[in-house]
Homo-oligomer: A and B are copies of this chain.
């Protein structure tokens, strides 16, 4: 631990490599464990600062698009190094601003963030993401086919919106930033106002790394703001070509509507959370009910329930085993120490949602962890509701995410799991808690499970999203704005790449990736064959 956790200089935006404080409106962070304001004043970015950041990003794009994958990889690895070098300051600052524990949570989160930069470095160094396809000329086909060579290039500057709940791995140094930069796209990041100092420390590490790698000044900018104006100006900036967002459905939908009004509309990749239904079979209840209840409680209160993969909806068969399961779940959750929520907005949203759900006829409040609305320190205990399938079916309130440590248990007739799945709607994940020896019987549900989520888990719990190539962190609306693109794992880069094809072009004019001799050795699909 270092002693640099108190940022005493005024907070700053980072515009094209320079600290900037032009705005007259300011805001400060709040210590969630005390409710007191902490740290320096942060100046909201002005319209001119946003413009400077996006213009610099446009200029940076003109240079980065000429960089090889190896050079981009070098910059990404330098970013991981600079983040690691700032580890103690980042973790301590993030803990103060979020109330999340340094150990193991925030230190683990930083490791995840750094790992993402390293993973994308490996990816772009190999060139897999370029998706190179070469179809040689074919004069024998009718009509004759010209030589066509396709690769992918970065779409251009990306606006990234940091999330409040992962101040490192889904915020300034998160997966959106890493994947956009890996695609060769400069980023202008809107820091989340819940952790402005964390954003600044992380942003400064990225800026240092970009400079060390010889990247243009506009490669990484950070704009701060407590209201919506800064983000709106960013999404409307002419240079922006795509938007990455992790946060609430309200925020994601508003940004998508705004982006659609641009003279040149751009995609908003919004990951908007979900209820992540868990379905527990009768057999699993009978064999492992106590263990599942214990593990489910642990999953539900991870990060004080403020995970987009938090299991907010649990389907449990009626009957003795199900009753016992619910009682065990109540017991485990009752024993959980209250912990601070991330910010006042989440507290207010959760309180409102809990009140609405608790007021639905047919819903029983099993545990009421409603956070208080005072200005003082706020800690939140878990909430649990219980209801029946008919009530769930007819009340839209029960389909809304309760962001925080809250879950709804829906009891249904034993054996009726097949009736439940088509009612679920769109989620990031859906989990089956079932026994291996009933896997075959569950095949009939599979197609409906696929329709409802981007990731289907058999046992395990949805919290915990491994960063691998096969990962898929997206889902049918409203879990995400576009279920074709993941925001976690290697394929997150796909959001920020577009194909371009060269026809009948001489080798001397082709990018190296497409030259006949393949001087960079990138994987390529040639004449319909699989990559060599």
Query: Which positions in A face B, CB cutoff 8 Å?
Result: 62, 65-66, 108, 111, 128, 133-135, 142-143, 145-146, 148-150, 153, 155-156, 256-257, 260, 264-265, 267, 426, 436, 439-440, 442-443, 446-447, 450-451, 453-460, 464, 466, 468-472, 474, 477-478, 481-484, 486, 491, 497-509, 511, 523, 525, 528, 530-531
Closest B residue by C-beta to A466: B145
Task: Say whether A468 contacts B502, CB under 8 Å.
Answer: no
Task: Say whether B504 contacts A459, CB under 8 Å.
Answer: yes
Q: Which of B111, B134, B446, B484 contacts A499 (CB 8 A)?
A: B484
Closest B residue by C-beta to A132: B470
Q: Which of B108, B135, B497 contacts A470 (CB 8 A)?
A: B135
Task: Say whether A458 contacts B504, CB under 8 Å.
Answer: yes
Contacts of A484 in B (CB 8 A): 155, 497-499
Contacts of A503 in B (CB 8 A): 455-458, 460
Contacts of A525 in B (CB 8 A): 469
Closest B residue by C-beta to A144: B466
Task: Say whether A501 contacts B470, CB under 8 Å.
Answer: yes
Q: Which of B143, B150, B458 contacts A472 (CB 8 A)?
A: B150
The 6 closest A-B pairs by CB, nearest first: A472-B501, A148-B470, A439-B508, A439-B506, A150-B470, A458-B505
Task: Say whether B500 contacts A450, CB under 8 Å.
Answer: yes
Least Cβ–Cβ distance between A9 and chain B, in angstroms: 35
Contacts of A450 in B (CB 8 A): 65, 153, 500
Given contacts A150-B472, A439-B507, A484-B497, 5 further A-B contacts (CB under 8 A): A439-B505, A450-B500, A453-B500, A454-B500, A458-B504
Query: Please, how many angstroms separate the alpha-carbon atoms of A454 and B481 in the complex?
Result: 25
A135 with B469, Cβ < 8 A, contacts A142-B111, A450-B500, A499-B491 known: yes
Query: Please, how many angstroms separate the alpha-carbon atoms of A464 and B504 in the complex?
Result: 13
Closest B residue by C-beta to A446: B509
Task: Say whether A504 contacts B457, CB under 8 Å.
Answer: yes
Contacts of A446 in B (CB 8 A): 509, 511
Contacts of A66 in B (CB 8 A): 447
Least Cβ–Cβ distance between A179 and chain B, in angstroms: 14
Contacts of A508 in B (CB 8 A): 439-440, 443
Contacts of A265 in B (CB 8 A): 256, 477, 481
Contacts of A481 in B (CB 8 A): 265
Contacts of A466 in B (CB 8 A): 135, 143, 145-146, 148
Task: Say whether A145 contacts B455, CB under 8 Å.
Answer: no
A460 with B504, Cβ < 8 A, contacts A65-B447, A149-B470 known: yes
Task: Say whether A460 contacts B146, CB under 8 Å.
Answer: yes
Query: Please, how many angstroms separate the alpha-carbon atoms of A530 and B497 in the complex?
Result: 20
Contacts of A483 in B (CB 8 A): 155, 498
Contacts of A128 in B (CB 8 A): 530
Task: Say whether A500 contacts B143, CB under 8 Å.
Answer: no
Least Cβ–Cβ distance between A398 and chain B, in angstroms: 18
Contacts of A501 in B (CB 8 A): 454-456, 470-472
Closest B residue by C-beta to A454: B500
Residue of A265, A470, A471, A500 with highest tally of chain B CB at under 10 A: A470
Task: Say whether B440 contacts A482, CB under 8 Å.
Answer: no
Query: Please, how many angstroms separate the alpha-carbon atoms of A483 and B398 in the complex?
Result: 38
Contacts of A135 in B (CB 8 A): 466, 468-471
Query: Please, how many angstroms separate the alpha-carbon atoms of A134 and B469 in the complex?
Result: 8
Contacts of A453 in B (CB 8 A): 500
Least Cβ–Cβ distance between A467 and chain B, in angstroms: 8
Residue of A133, A453, A478 with highest tally of chain B CB at under 10 A: A133
Query: Please, how many angstroms separate the alpha-carbon atoms of A143 and B112 in the complex?
Result: 9
Query: Please, how many angstroms separate the alpha-carbon atoms of A491 and B477 in the complex?
Result: 24
Task: Say whether A472 contacts B499, CB under 8 Å.
Answer: yes
Query: Please, how many angstroms separate the alpha-carbon atoms of A78 and B470 in the complex?
Result: 34
Contacts of A426 in B (CB 8 A): 264
Query: Please, how many angstroms separate the alpha-carbon atoms of A135 and B426 in the complex?
Result: 25
